[in-house]
Amino acid sequence: MIFNRGQTTAAHAGDRRTMQALPEHTLDATSTDQRWSVRALIVDDDVAIRELLCDYLTRFNINARGVTDGTQMRQALTDETFDVVVLDLMLPGEDGLSLCRWLRSTSDIPILMLTARCEPTDRIIGLELGADDYMAKPFEPRELVARIQTILRRVRDERSDQRTTIRFDAWRLNSVLRQLTAADGLVVPLSNAEFRLLRVFLERPHRVLSREQLLDAARGRSIEAFDRSIDLLVSRLRQKLGDDPKNPQLIKTVRGEGYLFDARELG
């Protein structure tokens, strides 16, 4: 079963019957932590997709609420607490990118974006604005479940990390507050993707990491070999760290292989 925009009512009913015929544990049962009381907010103006997703996610201990647009999304966030937001890019009125920007400016709730457009620019902008992951329509609902679980597992691990502050060169990174602080006390804002990328570098310094390794670790998704969006993330992180892109000393490019984090002082 694949979810796509524009399903008819008849297709909706047919897909619902198909869903009911699927095994209850389509994914490995060990991948679902029943101790989690997971709440997901689905923001999609396609009623068929929205309802099907809400129904399907309940099979994996994910209690989902569906809304149509930004106005309803804000109201839902006022009414309830959610663990993750699944946000469609193409919405009536305020679009998904604008809503992603608003969400990230007001909370650190994980965001998974859905898009029917395959433009790399849309995906990169979404990640820059703070989205944790993205999926292109049409998609398999099992993959959505897997990605939600991956995001939540990563957030849980980050919050349980006992090493609160990491120092490198003249910088300090607070992994709980997600704050990067310069030597003069200035706090430099980081998007979710930039924060995770920096964490990956700090956890694996002085070794060459491929683009695939960095994307997989920093964003927790399967990537394809031609995906170069990590280059843009590295460029933006260098800029925030004051690392000269023409002669970088902190995040070095290893031609044909990837990147190397070469901090002189780590602690």
Residues of the chain with CATH 3.40.50.2300: 9-159
Contact at 8 Å (CB) between 221 and 227? no
Place of tokens 């994307």: 215
From its phi and psi, is residue 46 left (phi > 0), alpha (psi between -120 and 50) or beta?
Answer: beta
Residues of the chain with CATH 1.10.10.10: 162-261
- Is the CATH number 3.40.50.2300 carried by domain 9-159? yes
pTM of the model: 0.55
Could you check whether the bond before residue 189 is cis, i.e. omega within 30 degrees of 0? no
Place of tokens 């990605």: 147
Token pair belonging to 21: 């015929």
From its phi and psi, is residue 242 left (phi > 0), alpha (psi between -120 and 50) or beta?
Answer: left
Q: What is the pLDDT along the chain (267 residues), one digit of tens a residue?
A: 666 655 433 444 444 433 333 333 333 333 444 444 689 999 999 999 999 999 999 999 999 999 999 999 999 998 888 999 999 999 999 999 999 999 988 888 899 999 876 666 767 777 777 888 888 888 899 999 999 999 988 877 766 654 678 889 889 998 878 889 998 999 998 888 888 899 889 988 889 998 888 877 666 444 443 456 788 889 999 999 999 989 999 999 999 899 999 988 776
Please provide residue 21's backbone torsions phi and psi, each rounded to the nearest 5 degrees. -85, -10
CA distance 178 to 184: 18
> If 0-12 CB within 10 Å is exposed, 13-18 middle and 19+ buried, where does residue 171 land?
buried
Q: What is the DSSP letter of 3?
A: B
CA distance 215 to 211: 6
Quick one: CATH architecture of 162-261? Orthogonal Bundle (1.10)
CA distance 241 to 171: 8
How far is residue 152 from each of residues 32, 104, 109, 132, measured CA to CA in Å?
A: 11, 16, 10, 10
